[in-house]
Amino acid sequence: MFNQRIKIKDLLATHYEQQEVVVMGWVRTFRNNQFIALNDGSTGSNLQVVLELGLFEESLLKRITTSASLKVRGLVVPSLGKGQTIELKAKEVEILGDSDAEAYPLQPKKHSLEFLREIAHLRFRTNTFGSVFRVRHALSFAIHQFFNERGFVYMHTPIITASDAEGAGEMFRVTTLSPDKPPMNEEGGVNFKEDFFGRAANLTVSGQLEGELGATAFGEIYTFGPTFRAENSNTARHLAEFWMIEPEMAFCDLEDNMNLAESFIQHIIRYALKHNAADLEFLDQRLAEEEKQLPQDKRSEMGLLEKLSFVVNNQFERITYTEAIDILLQSPAYKKKKFQYDVKWGIDMQSEHERYLVEKHFKKPVIVTNYPKDIKAFYMRQNDDGKTVAAMDILAPGIGEIVGGSQREERLDRLVARMQEMHIPTDELWWYLDTRKFGTVPHAGFGLGFERMVQFVTGMGNIRDVIAFPRTPKNCEF
């Protein structure tokens, strides 16, 4: 029977002194045939298990190796050693699973993040990844909590979709046709009529269009699921498979949308600060160590914890795209030709521009609104100036774009006209257009890239280190 065990997190948090308990976990280190640092994943802190000399067989002691799994029954006593208040005086030790410490890839020393990516199946057992993935869990929970408390309906939008109209990125095809000899049509292309769905299908890049169908019935919905982009961008912020949170609200304009996004981000960070203090403390120190290696001008101005409390306690800056371009044009960086890409009204800002705005100019998250219509999607609400749309992107220090959203075009004639201009087939999206025919309402929503959010909260520089098994170009291991 296993469920009588107590988790190390609970044990360390509660006063069980002089009580007998059972713990189970993996050996991190074993010193002097006497002190085991035992970790069970519930917390980054190890439990010190003390073996009285002479009480255990030599043959058993030999099997207590790094990463062996143990069951220990013992007495909780105050610790004499440094670094812990209690320890477990072992009465009974059972090896649940042996481990060949020589062959075990994780040695008790510092490994590079690149190396740990190659052994992603074991990296959860390190302090860093233990903390990152406990924080990732907390953020997921806080997301559901935030929306549930506000009466949003959690909607599961499809993963496989036949519409590729959204144009958010390159798509992965889903097919059961033979790769060697697919059936061909008269024009010499693949005949998808013979494919599984009777038409070409892809993995979704966003649940938004379906989300709008939900919002125009339930009022407020959110999605939280995987999305896929076959974009060949090998950056520290792009994955081929990532998770996205997409709330969609009826009776909501751009300003309501921004207000919601801001309090949403603050809520989930606050939750993690409260419930994962030890993990964030650890990550704060890890980042400080890492930044010591950098030249002074590359270091962040704030530590991780300082940055998080700053974001929770201060309003985001709000500027229009036109103002953002003006700031860039006035910037010393522009004047000294420090930007690689050109700046002028109409450009899709590059990450160097976004980072200048948040890291150098405002030094806080920035919401940029009212982008040129030509660089944004067809469904964004057209502004009266004829040039811009009611879009909003949230830019975060160290990450760049973390949220993309907009008020949606609810006027059928304007929407159809824009779709025709952009060559988006209106007949394929007949169901989407129906919402504008049957009781259309002002509505808005946004997408938050979950991994970018986890990066922001954990301070991890590479997006591959905040998802369990990253999918990127030429990499699909595990």
Binding mask 425-444 for ligand ATP (x = CB under 6 A): --------------------
Touching ligand ATP, residues 113-152 (CB under 6 A): none
Q: What is d(CA 413, CA 263) in angstroms, rounded to the nearest whole number? A: 34
Closest to ligand ATP by CB, 192 or 379? 379
Closest to ligand ATP by CB, 352 or 401? 401
Closest to ligand ATP by CB, 66 or 204? 204
**Which of 195, 146, 143, 144 is CA-nearest to residue 174?**
195
Closest to ligand ATP by CB, 23 or 209? 209
Q: Is 451 near ligand ATP (CB under 6 A)?
A: yes
Q: Which amino acid is at 438?
A: F
Q: How far is the CB of 445 from ligand ATP (least distance, A)?
A: 11
Q: Is 452 near ligand ATP (CB under 6 A)?
A: yes
Touching ligand ATP, residues 402-421 (CB under 6 A): 402-404
Q: Is 242 near ligand ATP (CB under 6 A)?
A: yes
Token pair of 169, please?
């990125």
Q: How far is the CB of 388 from ligand ATP (least distance, A)?
A: 17
Start-to-end CA span in the chain (Å): 31
Closest to ligand ATP by CB, 41 or 461? 461
Q: What is d(CA 409, CA 252) in angstroms, rounded to the nearest whole number? A: 12
Q: Is 357 near ligand ATP (CB under 6 A)?
A: no
Q: How far is the CB of 324 from ligand ATP (least distance, A)?
A: 15
Q: How far is the CB of 472 from ligand ATP (least distance, A)?
A: 9
Q: Using CB under 6 A, which of the segments 49-57, 147-155, 171-179, 398-406 binds ligand ATP?
A: 398-406
Closest to ligand ATP by CB, 37 or 429? 429
Strands (DSSP E) along 381-420, which ranges? 388-396, 400-407
Rule CB under 6 A: choose which of 22, 218, 401, 412 binds ligand ATP: 401
Q: Is 229 near ligand ATP (CB under 6 A)?
A: yes
Helices (H), 193-342: 208-218, 254-275, 277-292, 304-313, 321-330, 332-335
Q: Is 238 near ligand ATP (CB under 6 A)?
A: yes
Touching ligand ATP, residues 152-181 (CB under 6 A): 168-169
Q: Taking the CB of residue 278, how many other CB atoms lie within 10 A of it?
A: 15
Rule CB under 6 A: choose which of 449, 457, 458, 464 binds ligand ATP: 449
Name the residue with the smallest CB distance to ligand ATP. 449
Rule CB under 6 A: choose which of 203, 244, 389, 457 binds ligand ATP: 244
Q: What is d(CA 226, CA 109) in angstroms, rounded to the nearest whole number? A: 34
The answer to whether residues 221 and 245 touch, using CB atoms and an 8 Å cutoff, is no
Q: Taking the CB of residue 330, how many other CB atoms lie within 10 A of it?
A: 11
Q: What is d(CA 210, CA 89) in angstroms, rounded to the nearest whole number? A: 57
Phi/psi region, residue 190 (left: phi>0; alpha: psi -120 to 50; beta: rest), is: beta
Closest to ligand ATP by CB, 39 or 206? 206
Instruction: With H, G, I as helix, E, B as strand and everything else as coil, classify residue 268.
Output: helix
Q: What is d(CA 179, CA 86) in angstroms, rounded to the nearest whole number? A: 61
Token pair of 355, please?
């980072």
Q: Is 239 near ligand ATP (CB under 6 A)?
A: yes
Closest to ligand ATP by CB, 107 or 234? 234
Q: Using CB under 6 A, which of the segments 171-179, 285-293, 300-308, 399-407 binds ligand ATP?
A: 399-407
Q: What is d(CA 260, CA 251) in angstroms, rounded to the nearest whole number? A: 13
Helix, strand, coil percentages (3-state) for the chain, rounded to 5, are 35, 25, 40
If you write DSSP's letter for every residue of 149-180 in order, what string do you get? HTTPEE----SEES--TT-SS---EE--S-SS
Q: How far is the CB of 385 from ligand ATP (least distance, A)?
A: 22
Q: What is d(CA 44, CA 219) in angstroms, rounded to the nearest whole number? A: 41
Q: How far is the CB of 463 from ligand ATP (least distance, A)?
A: 6
Token pair of 428, please?
């394929």
Q: Using CB under 6 A, which of the segments 149-157, 363-371, 397-405, 411-419 binds ligand ATP?
A: 397-405
Residues in touch with ligand ATP (CB under 6 A)? 168-169, 229, 231, 238-239, 242, 244, 401-404, 447, 449, 451-452
